[in-house]
Structure 1
Amino acid sequence: MKSKSIDEFYKEISEESKIESSALLPSGIQKEIGHFNVFDIKELWGNLKKIPVMTYDRRAYYKISLIRGKNKVEYADREIDIESYALLFATPKIPYHYVPQDSLQSGHFCVFTSEFLTKDKSGIDLDKLPIFQTDGYPVFQLTEEEVIAIDLIFKKIHQEINSDYVYKYDLIRNYVAELIHIGQKLQPVTALYSKHNSAARVSSLFLELLERQFPIESTRQRLELKSAKDFAFRLSIHVNHLNKVLKENTGKTTTELITERLIHEAKVLLKETDWNISEIAYSLGFEELAHFSNFFKKQTALTPLSFRV
């Protein structure tokens, strides 16, 4: 399972907003400067009766959002309630789930790749900024005065991206850097962190990631998340914490749950397809046929070939 790319981002919001992808793309952007775009939330989703829920994914781009409205931001091990205004920073390192709580949503957000804001172009090293570290949950509560100031920066970005100014992207980088520095000066809304149901959420997200890999429908399709370590990395939590939570909520370890699902899929593929066993082994993430055969026999007391007959 790969991080959601910029192309997938445009496809998703085009489907949700009913706006053609070509109409969402900025004009004149050069590939060598990376990708950047900015959106007005009301213009994008204002005609919808219900604002779309952002799925829990790891994304291959950065995102800064000025949020007006009641919302909930869910990470693997905690959630943050937004009652009115917030500034949210999203990084490819931390997957999250964004859930609007009402239809009165407005504000702005911009998306950009690391190539757009490299240190030599902006003077900013994204990987070293505290606001984009994996141990942070950068959602910041705002006052009305702060909202007005940040809204003005986003309006300047909107104005500039539609201009014919030759150096507009250099100017936009300065505006993005200003947003980042504003965020780093703000205090996180730690009082709004909710941990009482974090174990249930971790379990739910794990099962969602596990099930999302199935069914295997082609010999070209291959499992990417195969171990407890893989899932813990994708959820941005420690593998020991994941094991503890799953054991408490399901009575089974991470490995046991993964094994059960792999065996179920292996049985389906052996009985319902004409793929050879090597193809099945490969699609299920096994590098060697012998490894798959040993794994299957250990769990079922049968070899894959015996089961298929």
Structure 2
Amino acid sequence: MAGFIELQTFYKHIPNQALEPVKNEIGHFNLFKVEDMILQNHKQATYSRRSFFKVSLVTGHSKIHYADQCIEVVDSVLVFTNPMIPYHWEIISEKQSGYICIFTEAFFNRFGSIKDYPVFQFADAAVIPLSAAETPLFKELFLRMFNELHSDYVYKYDLLRNMLMEVIHAAQKKQPASGSLPVGSNAPERITALFAELLERQFPIELGNQVIKLHSPSAFARQLNIHVNHLNKALKEITGHTTSQLIHNRIVQEAKVLLKSTTWTISEIAWSLGFDEPNHFSSFFKSRVNIAPVKFRQSEID
């Protein structure tokens, strides 16, 4: 099973760096140059979940294995990852440059919920290829953060939060948000945000005795205390997808991760994902991925 990478483990791969608490602050924040980190070329993809958030700006040929997707990057890219999403960076070219920023959720606790921003929730918003014209803006933002981090300014961590938010908002302006805003301004947005939170609470599947409890539109509607038609209308208005489509897409995403990153049997995976019978899961998976679970596990498809 893909386990969590703790901060202590992450720091072991960075020369001359030790994990130190941020003075007078709750949580943890740090920023590194990619060139100063240990890189392993052509390493096989491993789906590891981390105990911290990560924002990366990297220039160089690589492949990003994010949840159930594989995105090849030739030039520069921005990547936002959160502790819930399995993620791995596969280095292709020897020349890599840029910055990697890591922080814990507690670093933002007093300033809102950082995990609710679309770049930390949805694969389509989390991996953002940059053009040659767009890259300098983000390089400048990261350079400012790097210089501020190494300054003697007493309130630098307050400033660093603001700088990081500037990166987040600049990234989100580049494309339509894939998910709901952190705070819904109307009923459909609030319902969508609550639905997304309930859905994500069930993932990732980490233990063999873990089973998702909500896997139908009616189950979510009951939990939210609204009519299922009302739920479906709100989700369709905000996301363009039905309740069933959103649930099924998330289950398929997790199924792919479990098939690739565990040695669990098809029956065990089916049970964890709320299917009473393995053959029901197999039919469900094949109808959406066009390949049987066993063959998907054996294939090189991500």
**CA offsets 1:108-137 (integer angstroms, 9 cap, x no match):** 11011100122x33xx42232122224645
Which residue among 135, 146, 158 is the counterpart of 1:170?
A: 158
Q: Does 1:146 align with 2:188?
A: no
> Higher Cα Rg: structure 1 or 2?
1
Which residue among 248, 253, 274 is the counterpart of 2:292?
A: 248
- Cα 1:227–1:27, aligned 2, differ >3 Å: closer, same or farther? closer
Q: Which amino acid aligns with 2:37?
A: L
The 5 A counterparts of 1:114-193 are 114-118=105-109, 120-121=110-111, 124-134=112-122, 136-187=124-175
Q: Distance in 2 between matches of 1:42 and 1:62?
A: 20
CA displacement at 1:39 relative to structure 2: 0.7
Identity of aligned residues (%): 33
- Cα 1:129–1:94, aligned 2, differ >3 Å: closer, same or farther? same
TM-score in terms of structure 2 length = 0.59
Contact 1:94/1:134, CA 8 A, preserved across alignment? no
Contact 1:87/1:142, CA 8 A, preserved across alignment? yes
Contact 2:46/2:261, CA 8 A, preserved across alignment? no
Contact 2:67/2:123, CA 8 A, preserved across alignment? no
Q: How many matched pairs? A: 212
| 2:22 aligned residue | 29
CA displacement at 1:60 relative to structure 2: 1.4
Q: Distance in 1 between matches of 2:132 and 2:162?
A: 23
The 5 A counterparts of 1:44-63 are 44-45=37-38, 50=41, 55-63=46-54
Contact 1:26/1:37, CA 8 A, preserved across alignment? no
Partner secondary structure for residue 33 of structure 1: coil
- Over the residues paired in the alignment, what is the CA RMSD in angstroms? 3.7
Partner secondary structure for residue 152 of structure 1: helix
Which residue among 32, 37, 40 is the counterpart of 2:33?
A: 40
**CA offsets 1:238-278 (integer angstroms, 9 cap, x no match):** x77984369715279x9xxxxxxxxxxxxxxxxxxxxxxxx
Contact 1:54/1:98, CA 8 A, preserved across alignment? yes
Structure 2 unmatched ranges of 5 or more: 179-252, 275-280, 298-302
Structure 1 unmatched ranges of 5 or more: 191-200, 214-225, 233-238, 255-309
Q: Distance in 1 between matches of 2:262 and 2:60?
A: 32
**CA offsets 1:199-218 (integer angstroms, 9 cap, x no match):** xx99885355324x9xxxxx
Task: Report which of the two has the higher share of helix.
Answer: 1
TM-score in terms of structure 1 length = 0.58
